[in-house]
Amino acid sequence: MNDAILPTLPDEKLRQARQIADALRSEIGKAIIGQQAVVDEVLIGLLADAHVLIEGVPGLGKTLLVKALARTFNGQTRRIQFTPDLMPSDVVGHTVFDAASGRFVTRQGPVFTNLLLADEINRAPAKTQSALLEAMQEKQVTLEGNTSPLPRPFMVLATQNPIEQEGTYPLPDAQLDRFLFKIRIDYPSESEEIALTRQVTSARTGADLDVEPVASLLQPATVLALQQWAAHVVLDERVIAYAVAIVRASRAAPGFASGAGSRGPLALVRGARARALMAGRGFATPDDVKAVALPALRHRVTPAAEAEIEGLAADDLLRALLERVPAPRL
């Protein structure tokens, strides 16, 4: 390993980071049955100071997962239910004239929070979706020429349904690119579904799990500290070269109409660092890069028409690509 890249984190901080990650998994597990890989990917997004898009058919717990994460966090959390009539001002806020004071007053929108749940984000038109662009990229909002910083940490957790297309608006590529991960929630295993059914129907009158048992563990300052620690996880030059090689290969590999852009290797590296920190390691490995490749790249590549005809999705093409790109030995 080339330890000159960044200072190695003390063992005490690494142990603490792993303990916090384990505790978060445990608390979220009180509301979410199974889906451990999905939970880990959301936590990686949090530690990487990034935004995540969670995609899945209705009833798989997308919103519940986000609510459970928000409950572990003792900061500000807000939810926006995206609808076709939602306006940009409903997201970022607006300026109104206050007759009592005789001046214009800025009223901040729900985007001024730490964790923002953008539920069914593809239900709103592109103009409203794009209202989040500045907030996601610059961590600030400009209203009437005045720029206001957003609270830190700031994370957008957006959900969308990939099947029902009526009344939906596909996310612009520029906005998709701002999400570090596109996380897919699949159907639970048989044992998990049995456990889910048992838990929901046991002495309950409703038909949903709730987040009441989930305890609050994190303060905003703790999240900011974890994000700083993740940024100081050591990266060997060969790991960086491996991340770049994967992305560059996607631009020339058969089956892809277009490959990932320059944010691709950045997403791989940021995700790998956060994953290493959650495991209590002060250095990232090629396995960390490979583990985050699907959620980091699936929304940055486009399968070619002939691949889609053969029934190959972006994940299938990326798995084949990862088999072809040699990983370095450290």
328 C-beta neighbours (distance < 10 Å), count: 14
**What is the dihedral angle through the alpha carbons of 5, 237, 278, 175, rounded to the nearest 10 degrees?**
110
Question: Who has greater pLDDT, 214 or 44?
Answer: 44
Q: What is the mean pLDDT of the chain?
A: 87
| Domain range enclosing 159 | 35-213
Q: Is 167 domain-assigned? A: yes
Q: Which has more confidence, 207 or 90?
A: 90
Q: Provide the pLDDT for residue 1.
A: 47
Mean pLDDT of 321-327: 95
> Within a domain: residue 46?
yes
Instruction: Look at the chain and report how many structural domains it folds into.
Output: 1
Tell me whether residue 88 is in a domain: yes
Residue 277 lies in a domain: no
In a domain, 220, yes or no: no
Share of the chain above pLDDT 70, in %: 93
The region that residue 246 occupies, defined by phi over 0 for left and psi between -120 and 50 for alpha, beta otherwise, is alpha
Q: What is the residue whose two structure tokens read 């009441």?
A: 212
Phi, psi of 105 (to 5 degrees): -125, 135
Does some domain include residue 65? yes
Q: What is the pTM of this model?
A: 0.88
Q: Is residue 20 part of a domain?
A: no
Q: 177-212: per-residue pLDDT in tens?
A: 899 999 998 887 888 788 777 777 665 554 555 677
Residue 6: phi, psi to the nearest 5? Answer: -145, 155
106 in Cβ contact with 143 (< 8 Å) = yes
Residue 175 lies in a domain: yes
CATH of the domain at 96: 3.40.50.300
pLDDT in tens, 257-284: 999 999 999 999 999 999 999 999 999 9
